[in-house]
Amino acid sequence: MTRINNFRNRPRIGKKLPTFKLLDATGKTISLTSFAGKYVLLDFWGTWCVPCIPSIPELRAIHKKYGNRLAIISIALERPTDREKWLKAISKYEMSWTQTAEFTSAKEGINRLYNVIEYPTLLLADPDGILLAKIKYGERLDNKIGQLLAK
């Protein structure tokens, strides 16, 4: 029954994304509404996620290219004991955009709220928080984001 409810409540293209509150890497509380008025790319990843790591340079390039037009929020799912590992990864991979993490299981928290079942998962929202696209691993991020921001 839970899987059916998660499916029914999943974020849908053209619908407003649910908001969240998480602590960033500096301890500041952020939420989706903190970025109202900007396009937002939610990047669900983890330090343990093999395909997530190769996508980081492309995210870094997108962050540099779109600057103030696009806020990137990386949301890591980590084990409760892996905070230091997460912070080291942010530094090692030069992830200078907003970083948040949940130190819990995938069955709880923001992953459940957004029905994230595979990693990496990327969600692009417009300045009003409306979901524009779910970008799959392997799609050319820059092409997809460029097309959507040009509209």
Instruction: Supply the CATH number for residue 74's domain.
Output: 3.40.30.10
Domain count, the chain: 1
Q: Domain limits at 58?
A: 2-150
- pLDDT class of 104 with cuts at 50, 70, 90: confident
Query: Of 6-10, 69-73, 75-79, where does mean pLDDT reach its minimum?
Result: 6-10
pLDDT reading at 128 higher than 60: yes
Q: Which of 5, 136, 146 is nearest to 62 (CA)?
A: 146
* Mean pLDDT in residue range 82-98: 96
pLDDT reading at 114 higher than 60: yes
Express as a percent the part of the chain with pLDDT over 70.
88
- In this predicted structure, what is the pLDDT of residue 107? 64
Judge residue 148's burial from the number of C-beta atoms within 10 Å of its C-beta, 0-12 exposed, 13-18 middle, 19 or more buried: middle
Q: Which of 106, 104, 97 is nearest to 40 (CA)?
A: 97
- In this predicted structure, what is the pLDDT of residue 137? 66
- In this predicted structure, what is the pLDDT of residue 77? 92
* Mean pLDDT in residue range 70-79: 94
- In this predicted structure, what is the pLDDT of residue 80? 86
Q: Which of 32, 23, 76, 27 is nearest to 53 (CA)?
A: 76
Residue 141 — φ and ψ, nearest 5°?
A: -60, -50
* Mean pLDDT in residue range 24-50: 94
Cβ proximity of 97 and 72 under 8 Å: yes
* Mean pLDDT in residue range 116-134: 92
pLDDT reading at 5 higher than 90: no
Q: Are strands 121-125 and 39-45 parallel, antiparallel or unpaired?
A: antiparallel
- In this predicted structure, what is the pLDDT of residue 115? 87
The single residue listed with the structure tokens 């392997």 is 138
Q: Bigger pLDDT: 79 or 85?
A: 85
